[in-house]
A and B are shown apart, each in its own frame.
Chain A
């Protein structure tokens, strides 16, 4: 732990975590409550990106349907809330279980394919949930569903914005800790080995499919957690939260941060949202209305990263080992 602080990578991670840890105090001191909610969204998206990084970065499996877990986690909470179940102790486990079941089912079918077929089939399953949710007329259909934040009576009050932020932050730290341990565990080494050379791992006697399915399911649960948080953050769910563009954004964040780098998803989420938040007003400043087209600037930026910084932001911190 202390050793890690001797490397630029460790220092950068510690500084970013420190900044996030005191973010609510900073935004309060600066009287910028809006920035607290931006911070909350960054943390939640970082959790989702950490979960995608587990299968994409370690497993080498490009899933293009990860936003489905936003939707499943979110809708589970939203629907239960609409049915009068406000208690988080009930809502959250059900939402996580639903994510696990969905991940296991999708994984069992899609992990039999490879490469671009895997990408297409995960996208197809995500689209399936997307259209299913917009068909849920009882729960708002296309317009989505409003509800109030989960209740944890006697424990914490999520309606307090700073409290909610800190809960998200603690969960992000826990997810990073788990992922860091996983990467170097027996399971993680099998997952990473299969990502780099599946045939070799099979020839060593590893039933690769089983390990991938387990990883896909764990990743799905973590993605579902991000969905629960995202729904609570906006107190609103709609099909839009699981559109294919959100899945694309998640891939962008992982690639931007550095595929397979532990803190990559966090760096990626920070830069992604910072660019979105600041590029828009900046362009509007240059010419009214240009802000709408911030992606015209962001797109080429991504291309440059893909061409010249293959390891993403993380690679700026020096060579990675093991």
Chain B
């Protein structure tokens, strides 16, 4: 089996009396798509928050790329290769699509304490950024302000930004949200093609996409891991059927 890149060990997060993350241990391996599913309020977003470093767990550990990152701030985890996309589209609206990706390239290129040279004329930033835009079929929209892009295009832009950092693992928080059927299908194909480049933790409500993509699925209910296994195992798991998938499966 491929090496484990990202893992949590008995992660616990409480909000007052609510146990939002209850002893969760999961792992993401190189080259796999690990899907995290569960009903609303199951604690998926809370778990992602702890993985990215925006929330601190009460106990337990998070390991990434061979080291304990539990206490590492969010930006440092990104620099280690933990990329993410947002549930709600998040781009730099005043900047052009190309500027957005170029900033992602810049973040990956070391420190930015350079005060005088025009960053928009640096070929080492613009070149990779342009290629990144082309990879998500946004090449023709490079000079359009991000705010003027359609919702679907902004999602593609986010993907290009996340990939510009050459992540080892990508956290995808509902990437299909708000997408039409055709767009979702295209994204499914794109994510599949990414598998050689990085492992992925996919949080998604679109079950069709989940079962089409995932190598493994973990079901989260009330902050606990209800079941974890291959899509086939999850599809036939009686508990999961009852708790979540219901008749839909």
Which of B79, B118, B122 is the one whose CB lies under 8 Å from A205? B79
> What 1/0 flags go to B97-139 for Cβ under 8 Å of A?
0010001101110001111111110100000000000000000
With a cutoff of 8 Å between Cβ atoms, the chain A residues found around residue B142 in the complex are: none
Give the interface SS of chain A, mostly helix, strand, loop or mixed.
helix
> What 1/0 flags go to A181-217 for Cβ under 8 Å of B?
1101111111011001101111111111001001000
Distance, CA A202 to CA B93, complexed state (A)? 16
Contact A186 B92 (CB under 8 A): no
How many residues belonging to A are interface residues under a CB distance threshold of 8 Å? 27
CB nearest neighbor in B for A197: B92
CB nearest neighbor in A for B91: A200
With a cutoff of 8 Å between Cβ atoms, the chain A residues found around residue B104 in the complex are: 204
With a cutoff of 8 Å between Cβ atoms, the chain A residues found around residue B106 in the complex are: 186, 189-190
B197 to chain A, nearest CB (A): 17
A181 to chain B, nearest CB (A): 5
With a cutoff of 8 Å between Cβ atoms, the chain A residues found around residue B211 in the complex are: none
Is A84 in the interface zone, CB < 8 Å from B? no
With a cutoff of 8 Å between Cβ atoms, the chain B residues found around residue A208 in the complex are: 75
With a cutoff of 8 Å between Cβ atoms, the chain B residues found around residue A206 in the complex are: 75, 107, 112
With a cutoff of 8 Å between Cβ atoms, the chain B residues found around residue A196 in the complex are: 92-95
With a cutoff of 8 Å between Cβ atoms, the chain A residues found around residue B94 in the complex are: 192, 196
With a cutoff of 8 Å between Cβ atoms, the chain B residues found around residue A193 in the complex are: 92, 95, 103
Distance, CA A188 to CA B106, complexed state (A)? 12
Distance, CA A264 to CA B226, complexed state (A)? 58
Contact B112 A197 (CB under 8 A): no
CB nearest neighbor in A for B164: A204
Is A154 in the interface zone, CB < 8 Å from B? no
Distance, CA A293 to CA B107, complexed state (A)? 51
Which of B54, B86, B114 is the one whose CB lies under 8 Å from A185? B114
Most buried by A among B74, B91, B112, B115: B112
Is B165 in the interface zone, CB < 8 Å from A? yes
> What 1/0 flags go to B73-94 for Cβ under 8 Å of A?
1111011000010100011111
How many residues belonging to B are interface residues under a CB distance threshold of 8 Å? 35
Contact A204 B117 (CB under 8 A): no
Is B7 in the interface zone, CB < 8 Å from A? no
A56 to chain B, nearest CB (A): 16
- Given known pairs A187-B114, A189-B99, A197-B93, the reply for A205 and B119 (CB within 8 Å) is no
With a cutoff of 8 Å between Cβ atoms, the chain A residues found around residue B165 in the complex are: 204-205
Is B161 in the interface zone, CB < 8 Å from A? yes
Which of B74, B96, B122 is the one whose CB lies under 8 Å from A202? B74
Is A153 in the interface zone, CB < 8 Å from B? no
CB nearest neighbor in A for B52: A203
Which of A185, A197, A200, A204 is the one whose CB lies under 8 Å from B115? A185
Contact B103 A204 (CB under 8 A): yes
Distance, CA A197 to CA B94, complexed state (A)? 10
Is A300 in the interface zone, CB < 8 Å from B? no
> What 1/0 flags go to B204-236 for Cβ under 8 Å of A?
000000000000000000000000000000000
Contact A189 B75 (CB under 8 A): no
Contact A205 B108 (CB under 8 A): yes
- Chain A positions within 8 Å of B, measured between CB atoms, are 178, 181-182, 184-190, 192-193, 196-197, 199-208, 211, 214, 322
List 22 A–B pairs whose Cβ atoms lie within 8 Å, in order of A's numbering. Answer: A184-B119, A186-B112, A186-B113, A186-B114, A188-B119, A190-B112, A193-B95, A196-B94, A196-B95, A199-B54, A199-B86, A200-B86, A201-B103, A203-B52, A203-B84, A204-B161, A205-B78, A206-B75, A207-B75, A207-B76, A322-B96, A322-B120
